[in-house]
Amino acid sequence: MSKKTIFSTIILLSSLLSVSGASKPEQRTFRISKNMTIFNSVLRELDLFYVDTLNYDKMVKTSIDNMLEKLDPYTVYLPEEETDDLTFMTTGEYAGIGAMIMKSGSDVCVSEPYEGMPAQRNGIRAGDVLQEIDGKKVTGKTVNEVSLMLKGTPGTQIKIKLKRPGEKNIIEKSFIREKIQINPVKYYAVISDKVGYVMLSEFTDRAAIELKAVVNEMVHKNQIESLVLDIRNNGGGLIDEAIKIVGYFVPKGTEVVTTKGKNKEAYRTYKTPTEPIFQQMKLLILTNRSSASASEIVAGSVQDLDRGIIIGERTFGKGLVQNIRPIGFGGNLKVTTAKYYIPSGRCIQAIDYSHRNDDGSVGHIPDSLTSEFKTRNGRVVRDGGGIIPDTMTKDDRKLNIAYYIFAQNLYFEFVTQYVLKHPIIASPIDFKLSDDDYKAFTDYLISKKFTYTTQTEKYYKELLEIAQYEGLDVRAKDEFTALKAKLMPEVSKSLEENKADITELLSLEIIKRYYYQKGEIKYSLRTDKDLKVALDLLKPKGRYDLILSGRKAVNSK
């Protein structure tokens, strides 16, 4: 028996543990016990007789991962060494230096130091290449391994050696690790007369209290009467934080979400726990296809209760609830325990993982199979596919050369050189990339011999291979030649045709180097189409109240 066959056997046996065809509890218990016995026996036999030394931890982890993979992407095993990741997911907190790192070629470099945190305060910059951490060389290590080296107990000293572009000598830094708390409120500001804006990036355990603090601040200082809550690209988090946030805007005791699952513990109705603080405030919520889970609870309940207007793209469609279950030896199982239902009674889960295709794939629930529900004011909403905004917008940007440049990390590398020549730049509100700077960037791409292969080109090559296999390439030779001429990218021409997109991504990278995350957001909001739609709706004849009283969605571009 081959090693591959043995591993397949273990994975198959493990997968059996998730299958229960028995209707009675004792039958289910017997099948679990039976398959556990088989699994244990296989492992013992391998231990006794397999020709090579086995890595038991890795084998069992592989078995568990393959078993859980057949369920849904959110049910995962977290071994003891990933406990810090679990803490960060729920609290946004870890101990370290406060910087993001990434792979750049064979090096690991700092990609983004967080403003006001130890790395930034001690002069570490984006683009710095890590050489040593506490006397241990970084060369050859993965990003995850280097990340673990940077983390540690708060209050402990860390010594870093790094190489900085433009400087010959190795730079040494020595400072103290701190408890790093990532604020879920990435940015807030008054963006128009009596209109506040808050970008909420995640639902960690301080999301509600941080949101309340900044909105209260804008109420008292600026007398805001309307709030734009931006939860685009917010993948969710703690359900309790979502309930608290909704509770700031609706009466105490309002039902926000109900969870239903196989276990009695999964059945629960969540109601707002406190008296509302901003009950009269107009509320507009920005969403996109990456708004998920707790974000959808907030957006969906606000929509169902006719408490505010949702603007943007249809959300992701994650209507599943996970709990963390300790399973011994420091490990945890993050397991899907229930589906959630928002006030209208709908579940917005977009993918049915319990019914897979023959090849194991899953698909979205088609709109034709979804059901209608009614909001409090009688507006029609649907289940089964995320939250459909009241005012839908469309991202018209295409997958063009601008994103292939990004994928090859060339914006980052160019800006690392750019900052050496530009000690200061204009504010995020006033910054504009000059024609000379754009030309310097395109010259840089040429010097790097930049090229790329589009997805269309890949499909063309596959089509040509099939045509050759079927003997049709000769018959269609002229057509293939003409098609190739049109599909093959011309770098210089594409750089000119997509200048606007390239300029936007390059400018964002430049702004981030000088003004960090807040500066990047300020710059982005200058041309934000969704935000413009929100502000237009708040104008005297802007349809805010009309939409909530029961009309169809308004489409915008």
Could you say which of 304, 383, 390, 528 is catalytic? Answer: 304
Query: Which residues does residue 188 pair with via DSSP β-bridges, in sequence order?
Result: 198
Is 318 tagged catalytic? yes
Look up residue 365 and give its DSSP letter.
P
Could you say which of 244, 282, 318, 512 is catalytic? Answer: 318
Both structure tokens of 20: 């229960």
Report the half-sphere exposure of 176 (CA within 13 A, side-chain side).
Answer: 5
Distance CA 360, CA 350 (A): 17
Query: What is the CB neighbour count within 10 angstroms for residue 155?
Result: 10
* Widest distance between CA atoms in the chain: 80
Distance CA 266, CA 281 (A): 33
Could you say which of 63, 111, 291, 293 is catalytic? Answer: 293
Task: Specify whether the CB–CB gap between 114 and 516 falls below 8 A.
Answer: yes
Distance CA 210, CA 198 (A): 10
Task: Specify whether the CB–CB gap between 269 and 295 falls below 8 A.
Answer: no
Distance CA 302, CA 211 (A): 16
Is 304 tagged catalytic? yes
Both structure tokens of 61: 């982890």
DSSP strands (E only) in 91-143: 93-96, 99-104, 107-113, 129-133, 136-137
Pairing of strands 93-96, 76-78: unpaired
Is 512 tagged catalytic? no
Task: Specify whether the CB–CB gap between 225 and 299 falls below 8 A.
Answer: no
Both structure tokens of 363: 């698909």
Q: Which residues contact 355 (CB under 8 A, 6 or more apart)?
A: 362
Q: What SS3 state is found at 126?
A: coil
Dihedral of the alpha carbons of 521, 522, 523, 528, in degrees to the nearest 10:
80
Query: What is the CB neighbour count within 10 angstroms for residue 443?
Result: 11
Both structure tokens of 269: 């109705």
Task: Specify whether the CB–CB gap between 494 and 401 falls below 8 A.
Answer: yes
Q: Left (φ > 0), alpha (ψ -120 to 50) or beta: where does 446 sit?
A: alpha
Distance CA 497, CA 487 (A): 15
Active-site residue set: 293, 304, 318
